[in-house]
Amino acid sequence: MRRSGILLHPTSLPGRAGIGSLGAPARAFVQFLADAGQSVWQVLPLVPTDDSGCPYNSTSAMACNPRLIDLDDLCASDIGLLTAQDLADEPRPERWDRADFRLAWQYKIGKLRLVLDRLLASDSALHREIWAEFESFCAANASWLDDFALFDTLQEKQPEGPLWTQWPEGLRDREPAAVAEANEKYASDIELRKFAQFIFRRQWRALKTMANARNIRIMGDVPIFVSHNSVDVWCHRDLFELDAKGFPGYVAGVPPDYFTPKGQLWGNPLYNWKKLADTGYAWWLGRLQALNELVDIVRIDHFRGFEAFWSVKATEKTAINGQWIKGPGLDFFKAVAVRLPNLEIIAEDLGITTAAVEKLRKAAGFPGMRVLQFGFPLDEPNDHHAPHMHSADSVVYCGTHDNDTTVGWYQSLSEAQRDHVRRYLSIDGKDIAWQLMRVAEQSVGELCILSVQDLLSLDASARMNVPGEAKGNWAWRMTDSLPGWIADRLREMTFLYGRRPLDPIR
**488-497 long-range contacts, CB within 8 A, separation 24+:** 488/35, 488/36, 489/434, 490/36, 490/37, 490/38, 490/450, 490/455, 491/35, 491/36, 491/37, 493/437, 493/438, 493/441, 494/4, 494/36, 494/37, 494/38, 494/441, 495/37, 496/441, 497/2, 497/441, 497/442
Distance separating alpha carbons of residues 208 and 411, to the nearest angstrom: 37
CA neighbours within 13 Å on the CB side: how many for 503?
Answer: 10
Of 77, 80, 76, the C-alpha closest to 114 is 80
> Which candidate in 348, 404, 441, 454 is catalytic?
348
Distance separating alpha carbons of residues 295 and 477, to the nearest angstrom: 22
Distances (CA, A) of 485 to 407, 442, 446, 455: 20, 21, 26, 11
Q: What is the pLDDT of residue 467?
A: 86
Which residues share a beta bridge with 332?
none
Q: What is the pLDDT of residue 190?
A: 98
Does the annotation mark 402 as catalytic?
A: yes
Q: What is the pLDDT of residue 15?
A: 86
> Which candidate in 73, 241, 296, 402 is catalytic?
402
Q: What is the secondary structure of 92-147 as a DSSP string?
A: PPS-TTB--HHHHHHHHHHHHHHHHHHHHH---HHHHHHHHHHHHHHHHTHHHHHH
Which residues of the chain register pLDDT less than 70?
382, 502-506
> Which candidate in 221, 232, 296, 301 is catalytic?
301
Q: What is the pLDDT of residue 470?
A: 78
Distance separating alpha carbons of residues 400 and 214, to the nearest angstrom: 25
Which residues share a beta bridge with 40?
5, 217
Q: What is the pLDDT of residue 504?
A: 59
Distances (CA, A) of 287 to 23, 143, 167, 284, 438: 26, 11, 26, 5, 36
In the chain, what is the straight-line distance between the N-terminal and C-terminal CA atoms, in Å? 17
Count Cβ atoms below 10 Å from residue 150 Cβ, excluding itself: 23
Does the annotation mark 348 as catalytic?
A: yes
| Residue 186 CB partners (closer than 8 Å, separation 6+) | 150, 153, 154, 157
3-state secondary structure 26-80: HHHHHHHHHHCCCCEEECCCCCCCCCCCCCCCCCCCCCCCHHHCCCHHHHCCCCC
User: Would you kindly state where each structural domain of the chain is located, as residue ranges?
Assistant: 3-496
Q: What is the pLDDT of residue 506?
A: 56
Residue burial 363-400, b: 16+ Cβ < 10 Å; e: rest: ebebbbbbbbbbbbeeeeeeebbbbeebeebbbbbbbb
Q: What is the pLDDT of residue 434?
A: 98
| CATH H superfamily, domain 3-496 | Glycosidases (3.20.20.80)
